[in-house]
Amino acid sequence: MEKEHEPIIEEKRPEVAIEFWNKVMQLVDDDDVSAVEHMFLERPENLMDTKLPGKLPGEDKLWAWLQGRAENKLGRSLLVELNEKGIIVPK
């Protein structure tokens, strides 16, 4: 009998990415800038795997929303930034 193995990260990534993005979009709908920022500060490590493209679709547009909302609503700078690959990462 063959032993079952835990799926590798690459197989889990799409499911984790979809769950992560759905939660972020719900927080955007709720206009919760601080919670969206926190989601990216605590982004699951397997979404940042260097062997995989870590950028989620629409991340650049989300970055623009975060910047605008933080400046207008919170009056503070963000704890995250957009890196050279277009991925929102902690500063």
86 vs 11, 12, 33, 58, 75, CA distance in Å? 23, 22, 19, 10, 24
Question: What is the DSSP secondary-structure string of 27-84?
Answer: HHHTT-HHHHHHHHHT--GGGS-TTS--PPTTHHHHHHHHHHHIIIII-S--SEEE-T
Pair 24, 39: CB distance under 8 Å: yes
pTM above 0.85, yes or no: no
Average pLDDT over residues 29-39: 90
Tell me if 2 is assigned to some domain. no
Residue 3 lies in a domain: no
pLDDT of 10 > 50? The answer is: no
Mean pLDDT of the chain, nearest integer: 78
Mean pLDDT computed over 19-39 = 90
Does the residue 75 lie in any domain? Answer: yes
Q: What is the pLDDT of residue 30?
A: 92
Owning domain of residue 60? 9-90
- Is residue 68 assigned to a domain? yes
User: What's the number of CA atoms in the CB half-sphere (13 Å) around residue 60?
Assistant: 3
48 has pLDDT over 80: no
Model confidence at 26: pLDDT above 90 = yes
Residue 12 carries which side chain, given as an amino acid letter? Answer: K
